[in-house]
Chain A
Amino acid sequence: MTSEYRRPVPRPTMNPELTAPFWAGTKRHELWLQNCKPCGKFIFYPREACPECWAHGDDLVWTKASGTGRVHSYTVVYQPAHPAFGEFMPQAQVLIELDEGVRMVGNMVDVSSEEFRADPAVLPVNQRVEAVFEDVTPEWTLIKWRRVEEDPVPGSDTAPTENPWANDPRYN
């Protein structure tokens, strides 16, 4: 929010021109994804070719996404790769599966370091979440996540889901 923001901001090293619409979207507090016209799949991270069908160019269309999804998995990071995160440790690095079917990495804004320190399992896998937009610098707005109510949540540490490979002949 201030010019004193010391943590890393996005550094586009793949193709800044290609990913610009994504970051322009976050500045408007919207989540935009590429959508492949020929096969209908959503794409993230942004690419020059659809990973499903290798369509490219005008076949890939930027589309406003729902901004909702689920916690696919997460880790609570105690030792960050960058020292500027030191004072924010521990924090969760979450892998969110969007309702559009693609996944992205993020942080939770509504679970504090204290809560994670007290119980690192506090965040259930499959927790329903929605996007929150943080204007971290005048140039960059990051997408982060907060929990939203939904019941019942399928899958959690206390209730393992059925093993999907239980009937796979390779294992039985």
Chain B
Amino acid sequence: MSFRGKAAIIGIGELPSRRTIPGMSTAGLLAQAARLAIEDAHISKDEVDGLVTEGGSVFPGFAAEYLGIRPRFGTGVSMMGASGATAVLLAAMAVQNGLASNVLVVMGQARNPAIAAEGEGGANPATEFDFPYGPAAGANSGYAQVYKRHMDRYGTTQEQMARVAVNERANAQGNENAVFNGQPITYDDVIGSRYVNYPLRLLECVMPCAGAAALIVTTAERAKAGLNRPAYMLGGGTAVDGLSGMMRPELTVTPVARSAPTAFAMSGYAPKDVQFAQFYDAYTIIHAVSLEDAGIVPKGEIGPFFAETDTTYNGTFPINTDGGQLSGGQPGSAGGLRHVVEAARQIMGKAGVRQIERNDLGLVNGNGGMSSVMCTLVLGSANAL
């Protein structure tokens, strides 16, 4: 069950350590070290399908963008000085579980006086190539561009996307923890709300909140002996793409198109088997596109799906049964964790007035960094084992 003897290091790369390396950025140094490592391993760049960085200074989505790779396993480790060793531990776990075949672990810093004022973590091409053109706050601009291209490419309408917000708000009425509990909205409210970033309207965007969420993971043996009906981990997968839309091969396709197949393969199930979904929903559009990429509906057909499907907890395919983040609120990273908590709650049968009946197999998706990093999980009851 452990990775003992199941994972190995096959190539190494290292640059000379100097007080500073003039003319080089951190990202540039990472690229050089990475190249040395794949040359030593006698593998090609295209065979790198996993990536672990020091997450506090180098976000994996940015590293993937700079390096031009699209790994199917990726994470950033924020363990200060223990990050290097921990990264290798995670890489071994990924390989052991079939999440990746060749994981690049790469760390470094430039200490370049020309960028010292920014701090290494603040070095960002957006300050140079985006900010002069008046971007919106947060991620609005990037997601609105995905929205616009999805409309253009597949005929998706703002009216169809409004249904996402309406249905989630209905679900929030069954959740006293939701920030918009007690504040139902109508379709006309969504379509009538002002633009923040055409095509995105105000009620299609998430509300930052305070809050927290937590859960406990244990072994199947201990779960069986416990008092709760367990929510078993059946499958999982991650995938990484470039941080900025500048670099994505296709704006309307997210890394879920690669994380979900990995998760489904591990679980032994297919999209058609899924009974309910808890999907990251900072914006209507990214929630919708992620469901497409997970295979819940064919690519480009999520608009008609929302127009025709009751996705409330009383509906035929319940989605974000707690109101999601759009109507539940986004307490930082807990907003994403809460999707897992709600999936477990439904499987455990603890969802109260919003308890769904078909609760044996749920699909969860987490999204970060302008959809550059995704994690998809398949959770199920004992009946799904």
Contacts and interface: CB of A to CB of B under 8 A. Distances in A.
A149 interface: no
Contacts of A56: 28, 31-32, 35
B45 A53 contact: yes
Nearest to B253: A165
Given A10-B128, A120-B195, A160-B152, A49 B298 contact: no
Interface string A69-105: 0001111111111100100101101010000001111
A113 B380 CA distance: 51
Contacts of A78: 136, 194-198
Given A77-B141, A125-B152, A16 B115 contact: yes
A8 B131 contact: yes
A73 B251 contact: yes
A172 B24 CA distance: 47
A77 B197 CA distance: 5
Interface in A32-86: 44-45, 47-54, 56, 72-82, 85
B148 interface: yes
Interface string B102-140: 000000000010110010001111011111111111001
A47 to B, nearest CB: 6
A28 to B, nearest CB: 18
B154 A163 contact: yes
B284 to A, nearest CB: 14
A1 interface: no
B25 A18 contact: yes
Nearest to A48: B28
A51 B67 contact: yes
A9 B133 CA distance: 9
A12 interface: yes
A104 B128 CA distance: 11
B352 to A, nearest CB: 35
B128 A163 contact: no
B152 A54 contact: no
A15 B299 contact: no
B81 interface: no
Interface in B46-72: 65-68
B134 A160 contact: no
Interface residues of B, number: 64
Contacts of B194: 78
A23 to B, nearest CB: 9
B261 interface: yes
Contact of A13 (B67, B68, B124, B300): B124
Contacts of A120: 195, 198-199
A80 B150 CA distance: 23
A80 to B, nearest CB: 5
Contact of A47 (B27, B135, B295, B297): B27
A6 to B, nearest CB: 12
Contacts of B151: 157
A150 interface: no
B115 to A, nearest CB: 6
A79 B152 contact: no
Given A45-B129, A156-B152, A91 B66 contact: no
A62 B64 CA distance: 23
Interface in A120-152: 120-121, 124-126, 136, 140, 142
B140 A73 contact: no
A41 to B, nearest CB: 9
Contacts of A44: 246
B154 A74 contact: no
A85 B134 contact: yes
Contacts of B68: 50-52, 54
A88 B151 CA distance: 26
Interface of B: 23-25, 27-28, 31-32, 34-35, 38, 45, 65-68, 112, 114-115, 118, 122-125, 127-137, 140-141, 144-149, 151-155, 194-200, 245-247, 251, 261, 295, 297-300
11 contacts: A7-B132, A10-B127, A13-B118, A13-B122, A15-B23, A17-B114, A49-B31, A75-B147, A77-B134, A77-B140, A160-B153
Given A75-B144, A93-B134, 12 more contacts: A7-B134, A18-B23, A47-B27, A48-B27, A54-B35, A75-B198, A78-B194, A81-B135, A105-B246, A120-B198, A142-B132, A160-B153
